[in-house]
Amino acid sequence: MDLLSKLPIECLQLIILVLVQDRQYGAIAALLQTNKYIASIALPFLYENPYRKGMHCYISTQKTRSRGRSDHALTSMLLHQLPLDALPPAISYLLETTNPTPPKPLDYGACIRHLCLPSWALDLDYYWPHGRYYREALAYMKGTEFTQLCRDHSLLPCYEENLGTGLDILRCHFQAIVWRQACWTLAGPILEQLQSLTIPVFDLDRYSAAISRLGNLEHLEFALDDIVDYSEEAYFGGDWVMSPRFESEIRERKERQLRTMVQFVRGHAQLFPGRLKTVICSDAEMWPDMHQTCPVETKLEMLRILPPPKSPTFLSKANFLHVSAHLQSTDLSQVQEITDMESPPCLWYDVHRDGRDFLQRCRALKSIHMDTLGPGSFAWAVQEKQDMESLGSNCHNTNSGVQGGVGPPSLQESRPAYLEHGLVPLEEFNILESDDPLSDEDDNVVFAFSQTLKKLTITAATYQERYIPRILQVGGGWVDLPFLTTLYISAAWNRLSLDAQLYRHCPNLTLASFTDNTIRYRCRDITTCFAAELPRLVELELNGWSGLTFHPATLHSTVALKKLCIEIGRDDVDAYFIPPRTELNRSFESDPTGMEGDGGDGDNGGAPIQVAQEGSRMRRPKWTWNWYLPQLTSLTLTGEFAYRFQFRMLQGCPSLESLILNMRLTDRSEQFTRVLSRADLLMPMVADNTGEEGSSSQEQLYKQQEGEAIVAPALKVVKLVGPWVIGDELVVQFFIHMLPSLTDLEEDGVTGYTLEKVCEVLRSMPSKIEELSLSLPEPSEESAKELGLVGEVYDDDENGDDENDDDENDDDSEVGVGDELEKETELKLCLCLEGKRFFLKKEFPSDIV
């Protein structure tokens, strides 16, 4: 540290600045403990904004609790720095301070520039844990002086019904008063140096009287701490009911406070023109069930007094009000991101309606998350693209825009924005359907930003006042999107119909997800999309109509695919519709079963598939189930896709770790029962067509006759749901040979095998299985003993111990019992039968043998 102390101030400041940028506040705090020279340099960096987010989280990994404790300690320390005679009685009693404190070696208050004291930084539970009140403080709270103080602070008795009785009411009132007094006590001596300040609205008159001292104030927060907004829980929660007179008084008081806030901002602007940059209003969060609000009209009135934002780089709910208050005078050319426009919901539409060129002025826009605005929202972008193409100026894109400043000023002013700055470089577009239904937004955005768009998200309305099913058409007006990597479309209450060419427009997709509300369907309505080449696709999630219209030949190109999910129905429904067997079988080309393919890419691998009828025959492409997907780790199929699944697909998925097949039926029909045979677990016989005599050995001939056994070497987790039938004769082949790495199997509704066979195989064959969840009935005590099964024992509380203690120790006690049981009986694995856990012994009991 001696060498560090010899560094010039400028060097030390640069070092500490790097720590601030990395949010290494703990390291800066450690410098305060070195020597006075280093501490005096580090202190301004640490306490410039003492209540900033993340300031104290380094103390503990439990960030929320740590920050709360640290902010309490910080507030206490800052208040202790002040002279005793400067502290109001309530704060003195809170701090239990009765004697003057000695002067501190460092003046922390002199370093503060941003003072935003949150109300919860003075929580009484920190100062008086477990209700242990300071004796003098409790006497003060019950005295006449404090009673009068409550009246002066307008702590109305009508609210007391929400606080409880007696001491609870005193605590709440005391905390409100202490927080208001602490805000002024800390701010009063240093008003001249403050750049940011939180002001309790109830105490605004005191700050107004000192407004001439706030010459450096740039950021102002009005904390709405007075009870002027009453919720139904507050005044209907008890016997008290708000009278018309009281309601009128409350309304007048709120209007008076709002006028005072506007006058304060106007007064500051007159004294210090252009100094105040931002004004926000927030609930002080002091009163349960009492959310205090400020009308949007009042916020806009205050923001219009301020200067417009200076070249914002983003628009969100944090600054959109300010921008909308100065819509025409704000420079939007540097805006790169628009997001969180849901608050307040109506303002987004008003701004767009009043200034139709609003989005067009954001020339640097790269990302936008927005609600629908109606047809023509991006017509300007389409026009710019068409104009640019008509001029033969395709080079004037995002990366090589035409530079301004050429020619005389009159000519320069008349040049369109896209000639000055290039086309808008939009990369991410996320639109949510709200009051205005989706119209031409996706087509226009895709056309206008086809050379820059990387991520596209479309979310149709997630709820409707009146449920009216509709078909959401997507992709009909799309062009090629060479840079698009992420495509997410959700139509929760609709049917999502993808254009047949959509996949071909997006050759570089890495993630594609399509979801809709398709639950029941007719095969003759299905129009299959074109097969496409998607070599970079990593995740493919198809839920609903998109799965039915997907061309399976596309999977021959998805060598990078890691996750494949094709489902029918909603997440909250674990049962699926499958069309009648005759209809389903006839819907597949030249495939009487609708399940078995004959290898290769299948017919129509690269040609459009049209739904047609020849008599009563409908056509869909064959699913060959022979794709090579070397990186696939997760596969989920439900409904007809699970029913038609062929296990030979596993042979081409050497990295597969998780398999879910759910064909639980809505109508419990027996016609869709999948009875597995030995042939289902073997690869189809492949004839030797080499034409060389003697090329077939005895082993090759055997493989041709019997087929090669299917093996999924990495598959660990398997879930089978629905009417599957696996006979005892297949248990060894299914559980052991085909799935050598299986650790977790869950089945529900599977029949055909017996518990005796499972126990026999698992005990005699080497496997990695740790847990099986089976739908077999729970065995009797005698049967369990014969099978070598030991039921899990729970340590019931016979003495009726405290319920809370039981809750806290439930998990630990259960684990402990399981561990002890396994150790004593040398158990191998766990079987869950009808919700009860059994452990399988490695060897049969000697008396059974």
Strand pairing report for 486-491 and 314-315: unpaired
Under 8 Å CB-to-CB from 400, ≥6 apart: which residues? 422
Using one digit for the tens of pLDDT, what is the confidence trace for 282-319?
A: 998 887 777 888 999 999 999 999 999 999 999 988 89
Percentage of the chain modeled with pLDDT above 70: 75
Assign 598 a pLDDT band (cuts: 50, 70, 90). Answer: very low
CA 133 vs CA 94, 95, 126, 140, 172: distances in Å:
9, 11, 11, 11, 14
Residue type at position 828? K
Residue 424 has pLDDT above 90, yes or no: yes
Encoding tokens for residue 158?
């009508």
Confidence at residue 440, expressed as pLDDT on a 0 to 100 scale: 92
**Is the distance from CB of 748 to CB of 834 less than 8 angstroms?**
no
The half-sphere exposure of 484 on its side-chain side, counting CA atoms within 13 A, is 25
Strand pairing report for 617-618 and 658-662: unpaired
The kind and range of the H/E element at 206 are: helix 204-209
Confidence at residue 157, expressed as pLDDT on a 0 to 100 scale: 55
Residue 849 has pLDDT above 50, yes or no: no
Confidence at residue 414, expressed as pLDDT on a 0 to 100 scale: 55
Residue type at position 701? L
Using one digit for the tens of pLDDT, what is the confidence trace for 344-359?
A: 556 777 776 666 688 9
**Is the distance from CB of 264 to CB of 221 less than 8 angstroms?**
no
For residue 751, the 8-state DSSP code is: B
Average pLDDT over residues 568-580: 80
Backbone angles phi, psi at 265, to 5 degrees: -65, -45
Confidence at residue 556, expressed as pLDDT on a 0 to 100 scale: 97
3-state secondary structure of 390: helix
- Rounded (to 5) percent helix, strand, coil in the chain: 40, 15, 45
Residue 622 has pLDDT above 60, yes or no: yes
Encoding tokens for residue 36?
């006075």
Assign 64 a pLDDT band (cuts: 50, 70, 90). Answer: very low
Using one digit for the tens of pLDDT, what is the confidence trace for 721-732?
A: 999 999 999 999
3-state secondary structure of 699: helix
Assign 467 a pLDDT band (cuts: 50, 70, 90). Answer: low
Percentage of the chain modeled with pLDDT above 90: 42
Assign 485 a pLDDT band (cuts: 50, 70, 90). Answer: very high
User: What average pLDDT is seen over the chain?
Assistant: 80
**Is the distance from CB of 514 to CB of 542 less than 8 angstroms?**
yes
Average pLDDT over residues 376-385: 93
Under 8 Å CB-to-CB from 539, ≥6 apart: which residues? 510, 511, 512, 513, 561, 562, 563
Residue 32 has pLDDT above 80, yes or no: no
Residue 544 has pLDDT above 60, yes or no: yes
Better-scored residue on pLDDT, 661 or 614: 661
CA 634 vs CA 631, 654, 719: distances in Å:
9, 11, 12
Under 8 Å CB-to-CB from 199, ≥6 apart: which residues? 183, 207, 220, 221, 222, 223
Assign 24 a pLDDT band (cuts: 50, 70, 90). Answer: confident
Give CA–CA dist 355/245, Å, rounded. 43
Domain boundaries, the chain: 1-47, 48-305, 674-686+715-776, 783-849
Confidence at residue 238, expressed as pLDDT on a 0 to 100 scale: 46
HEC per residue, 529-596: CCCCCCCCCCEEEEECHHHHHCCHHHHHCCCCCCEEEEECCCCCCCCECCCCHHHHHHCCCCCCCCCC
Residue 107 has pLDDT above 70, yes or no: yes
Residue type at position 195? Q
Confidence at residue 31, expressed as pLDDT on a 0 to 100 scale: 80
* Cis preceding-peptide flag for 344 (omega within 30 of 0): yes
Assign 804 a pLDDT band (cuts: 50, 70, 90). Answer: very low
**Is the distance from CB of 825 to CB of 839 less than 8 angstroms?**
yes
Confidence at residue 839, expressed as pLDDT on a 0 to 100 scale: 87
**150-164, 504-518, 761-775: which is most confident:** 504-518
Confidence at residue 582, expressed as pLDDT on a 0 to 100 scale: 86
CB-based burial, 644-682: b 16+ in 10 Å, e otherwise: bbbbbbbbebbebbbbbbbbbbeeeeeebbbebeeebbb
Cα 120 from chain centroid (whole Å): 27
Assign 538 a pLDDT band (cuts: 50, 70, 90). Answer: very high
Confidence at residue 450, expressed as pLDDT on a 0 to 100 scale: 97
Confidence at residue 386, expressed as pLDDT on a 0 to 100 scale: 93
Confidence at residue 345, expressed as pLDDT on a 0 to 100 scale: 56
Give CA–CA dist 655/559, Å, rounded. 12
Using one digit for the tens of pLDDT, what is the confidence trace for 432-446?
A: 887 778 889 999 999
Using one digit for the tens of pLDDT, what is the confidence trace for 681-716?
A: 998 865 444 433 333 444 443 444 457 899 999 999
For residue 101, the 8-state DSSP code is: P
Using one digit for the tens of pLDDT, what is the confidence trace for 443-464?
A: 999 999 999 999 999 998 766 5
Under 8 Å CB-to-CB from 578, ≥6 apart: which residues? 584, 639, 640, 643, 663, 665, 669, 672
Confidence at residue 338, expressed as pLDDT on a 0 to 100 scale: 92
Encoding tokens for residue 63?
């960030």
**236-250, 397-411, 702-716, 741-755: which is most confident:** 741-755
Q: Which residue(s) pair with 511 in the sheet?
A: 486, 539
Cα 184 from chain centroid (whole Å): 39
**28-42, 407-421, 551-565, 619-633: which is most confident:** 551-565
Confidence at residue 56, expressed as pLDDT on a 0 to 100 scale: 57
Residue 193 has pLDDT above 70, yes or no: yes
* Cis preceding-peptide flag for 740 (omega within 30 of 0): no
Encoding tokens for residue 90?
């309530």
Average pLDDT over residues 622-633: 96
**Is the distance from CB of 755 to CB of 836 less than 8 angstroms?**
no
Residue 643 has pLDDT above 60, yes or no: yes
Confidence at residue 532, expressed as pLDDT on a 0 to 100 scale: 97
Strands (E), 395-520: 428-432, 455-459, 471-474, 486-491, 495-498, 511-516
Any idea which residue has 């890419």 for tokens? Answer: 601
The kind and range of the H/E element at 383 are: helix 379-390
Better-scored residue on pLDDT, 320 or 214: 214
3-state secondary structure of 823: helix
**Is the distance from CB of 382 to CB of 450 less than 8 angstroms?**
no
Any idea which residue has 């070195």 for tokens? Answer: 34
Give the residue from 388, 378, 339, 344 showing the smallest Cα distance to 358: 378
Give CA–CA dist 54/60, Å, rounded. 12
- Count the Cβ atoms, other than its own, within 10 Å of residue 802: 9
Give CA–CA dist 15/31, Å, rounded. 11
Give CA–CA dist 637/621, Å, rounded. 18
**Is the distance from CB of 510 to CB of 539 less than 8 angstroms?**
yes
Better-scored residue on pLDDT, 800 or 289: 289
3-state secondary structure of 513: strand
Using one digit for the tens of pLDDT, what is the confidence trace for 237-282?
A: 444 556 677 778 888 989 999 999 999 999 999 999 999 999 999 9
**Is the distance from CB of 547 to CB of 566 less than 8 angstroms?**
yes
